[in-house]
Amino acid sequence: MENDGLPLAYRELVAKVVPMTVYRVLDADEQRIEKVRAVQLEILAQLLSVCRANGLTVFLMYGSLLGYVRNGGFIPGDDDIDVALMREDYDKLLGLSGSFPDGFLLQSPAAEDCFYGGYTKLRKRGTSCIVPQNWYKDCDEGICIDIFPVDFAYADRKKEQKKLRRIRQLQRLLYAKSYGFFASFQDMPLLEWKLYKYAGKLFSRQRLLAAFDRLLAEHDGTGRCRIYTHYTAGAGFSSREKDSSFPAELVGTFLPATFEGLELAIPAGWKELLRLRYGCSFLEMNADGGQMKLRHGFYSLDVPSKVYKKRFSRAGKNIRAGQKVVLVGDAAGMSEFAEQFGGRYRPEALCMTHTVDWPLPEAFGAARQISLHDLKEFSSAEFYVVVTGIFFREAEAMLRDAGVRDYYIFVRNREWLRLANPEDALWELRGRAGRNDG
């Protein structure tokens, strides 16, 4: 591989090991994800252009580093790009937000009222990568790549664990500032989340972010580093998290690398970094996860996130007096709608776009069945159209092909937005209903 920083002998080892140990299962959204990756590479190219022009070094980390070592690019089935900069370069990058073209947004914690743990995202406007926590947030959620700062750490274990605890406390306070409207959040028990929401009201977001930045900068000068801004769920600290600091020399120098045709860098200590993160068998990790495979967000390549947020967040919430509800989709989604709104909003009509092994709610038995063609005759002032179901994406596309533009999308479980394989939602529904049939 041209301009490749990995030793040839290691490339030969990877070629022998990976095909024998890594399997691939094609996902239902494979074609969409291929297009998402192309956008992510476009975003990465913009980042590299700005950073090169300003003498900043961008290097691969996490799954992107693993994918480069094993596959020369993306891990098969993966849908994100992780890069990092040393803290000095990272802070300079934050000051260059105006250097990106109009179609791109450098979204730091200080830029918009959303929070992911403290790192930055570079987004392409006019697209969507919506995560459930930002469902109601007025922030841009275009397709993105993740940019992490590498900070210095304490070598003293007690001091480092104290720093980790304080960082987590500030992260949770910042989560409470942005997402206090949720009854529960992340890994926090209900009472603890309530306490963070109350405490968060005592401080401004700017003050919390300033305290967060000061804390990240604390270290004892002993030459250890860590990425602190990746929030790790869990009541305590895992052994991996406790020991995930690493010698600064691992990121002290860099090797050239070509990731999916783009030239950037990898840390000279890439092998030890991967071992610390993923264990000694990082070459043999399976590419795909478990049964319920979730993407990093709900993707759209050509619809802005704010448009989809309106469609998602307002479903069933702004029905005007006299409007008649029309449900479009499949029986599983209509059953979910019935549980949520059935007592208040009985549908006037049902438009079945997909057949799934799920019964229609008895309460909807009086609703008339219509076709997509019939929907074109419906006035948006008189009818309130809601797309719902496991295959809501396909149902929405069919609705738009039929010429209907005024509608909302109801998805009761927001995690369904991120499913790589929509039929997996049936497993959840069957489990909830106590059904074991396949």
Q: What CA–CA distance (Å, rounded) separates 228 from 282?
A: 22
Helix then strand count (H, E) for the chain reads 14, 16
**How is residue 437 written in tokens?**
């049939």
Residue 234, exposed/middle/buried by CB under 10 A (0-12, 13-18, 19+)? exposed
pTM, to two decimals:
0.91
With residue 256 as reference, give the H or E element that holds it.
strand 254-259
**What is the C-alpha separation between 146 and 424, in angstroms, rounded?**
27
Contacts of 380 (CB under 8 A, 6+ apart): 406
Q: What is the mean pLDDT of residues 344-371?
A: 90
Q: Name the phi and psi angles at 89, rounded to 5.
A: -70, -40
- HEC sequence for 337-355: HHHHHCCCCCCCEEEECCC
The single-letter code of the amino acid at 185 is: F
Q: Cβ distance 418 to 292 under 8 Å?
A: no
Higher per-residue confidence, 76 vs 4: 76
Tens digit of each residue's pLDDT (9 = 90 or more) over 239-284: 445 458 999 999 999 999 999 999 999 999 999 999 999 998 888 8
Please state, in angstroms and rounded to a whole number, the distance separating the CA atoms of residues 224 and 247.
Answer: 5
> CA distances (Å), 142 to each of 64, 78, 106, 189, in order?
20, 18, 11, 31
Residue with tokens 């890069």: 83
Mean pLDDT of 64-82: 94
pLDDT above 60 (res 290): no
Average pLDDT of the segment spanning 223-247: 74
**Banded pLDDT at 238 (limits 50, 70, 90):** very low
Confidence of residue 437 (pLDDT cuts 50, 70, 90): low
Q: b/e map of 170-205 (b: 16 or more CB within 10 Å)?
A: bbbbbbbbbbeebeebeebeeeebeebbeebeebeb
φ, ψ of residue 107 in degrees (nearest 5): -105, 95
Helices (H), 72-118: 87-94
Residue 438 is predicted with a pLDDT of: 47
Helix, strand, coil % in the chain, rounded to nearest 5: 40, 15, 40
More confident site: 154 or 5: 154
Measured CA angle at 38 (ends 406, 124), to 5 deg: 55
C-alpha–C-alpha distance, residues 282 and 279, integer Å? 6
Q: Does residue 329 have a pLDDT over 80?
A: yes
How many residues are listed for the chain in this entry? 438
pLDDT at 236: 47
CA triple 260-266-270, angle to 5 deg: 120
Confidence check: pLDDT of 379 > 60: yes
Name the β-bridge partners of 106. Answer: 122
DSSP, collapsed to helix, strand or coil, labels residue 28 as coil
Give yes or no for residue 82 having a pLDDT over 80: yes
Residue 213's identity, in one-letter code, is D
Q: What is the pLDDT of residue 354?
A: 93
With 70 as the cut, is the pLDDT of residue 64 above it?
A: yes
Residue 297 · residue 130 · CB < 8 Å:
yes
Structure tokens at 280: 């000694």
Most confident of 135-139, 162-166, 412-416: 162-166
**Which residues does residue 300 pair with via DSSP β-bridges, in sequence order?**
128
Q: CATH topology for 314-433?
A: Rossmann fold (3.40.50)
pLDDT reading at 203 higher than 50: yes
Please say whether the beta carbons of 48 and 311 come within 8 A: no
Q: Across the chain, what does the average pLDDT equal?
A: 89
Radius of gyration of the chain (CA): 24
The ranges of the chain annotated as CATH 3.40.50 are: 314-433
Q: Which residue has the higher pLDDT, 343 or 219?
A: 219
Distances (CA, A) of 257 to 3, 53, 58: 6, 18, 11
Instruction: Look at residue 15 and tell me whether its pLDDT is greater than 80.
Output: no
